[in-house]
A and B are shown apart, each in its own frame.
Chain A
Amino acid sequence: MIEGIPMQHLLIVSLFMFFAGVCGFIIRKNMITILMSVELILNAVNINLLVFNKYLFPEQLQGHFFALFVMGIAAAEAAVAIALIINIYRRLNSINVEEVTEMKY
């Protein structure tokens, strides 16, 4: 626990980061920037898990381990998403979400 810092301040920081990610997910058009917004969201969740672990349940390491697993999932997600983005760029020559509509019926 950080001395002199209440838990709520850390939670507000991570909330801000989370909703910045949500906002970016909605307003961005480029697929890579949307991926960056998703990374922001996952990172904010990680801060939350660790803060709850440290301030509320210091006798266990649950938040610690699940933050570790979230990081692994974020890495897997980024790898697959970038493979998809590169494949889409190769086929359609654009990664703008408004132009990638081939699979719409």
Chain B
Amino acid sequence: MALNQFMFYLLAAVIMVCSVLTITSRRILRAAFYLLCVLIATAGIYFMLDYQFIAGVQLILYAGGIVVLIIFSVLLTSHISQKFAKPGLARVIPGVLAAVAGFVLSAMTVLSFPFQPSGQPAIGNDMRTIGLQLLSVEKNGYALPFEVISVLLLASMVGAIVVAKKEKSKEKP
């Protein structure tokens, strides 16, 4: 087995095991740590697919930003040593059933579908191409979604600040 195959299956195993542990761990801080492992292994897969920019963004934004935010809110809202009660069967059975049924159905579809590669020469994905395409309005330009998402980010930033702000008590002038 070549080294890159070994590396891929190692990353895949880490992703599968840790994503199951994320949803079954009964200590919330450990669940956050397993989520971090999943996200870092995903960044490894992006590096193997030769998408260095996306892998860097994944490490910075998910592993550095969102997981830290989640751990921060865990520390604000619950005790570290607190263990969850085991979820009841009335919840586990429908959840596992839905997941297994969906997985089997989609896996069968994926394995039987004849994918047709376009067979055209690959475009480079260096920073120059990414930057030019992201701000271009020509064919293969993504300026509109870029602007839309910047408005969305501004709106969610304002919304998060407004929601989390402490209300002023009304007695004081």
Contact = CB atoms under 8 A, between A and B. Distances in A.
Interface of A: 1-5, 7-13, 15-17, 19-30, 32-33, 35-37, 39-40, 43, 46-47, 50-51, 54-61, 64-69, 71-80, 82-87, 89, 95
A93 to B, nearest CB: 9
Q: What is the interface of chain A mostly: helix, strand, loop, or mixed? A: helix
B5 A5 contact: yes
B150 to A, nearest CB: 9
Chain B contact surface mostly:
helix
A36 B5 contact: no
Nearest to A54: B49
B19 A71 contact: no
Contacts of A86: 73, 76-77, 164
Interface in B13-62: 15-16, 19-20, 22-23, 28, 31-32, 35, 38-39, 42, 45-46, 48-51, 53-54, 57-58, 61-62
Interface in B107-148: 107, 110-111, 115-118, 120-123, 125, 129-130, 133-134, 140, 142, 145
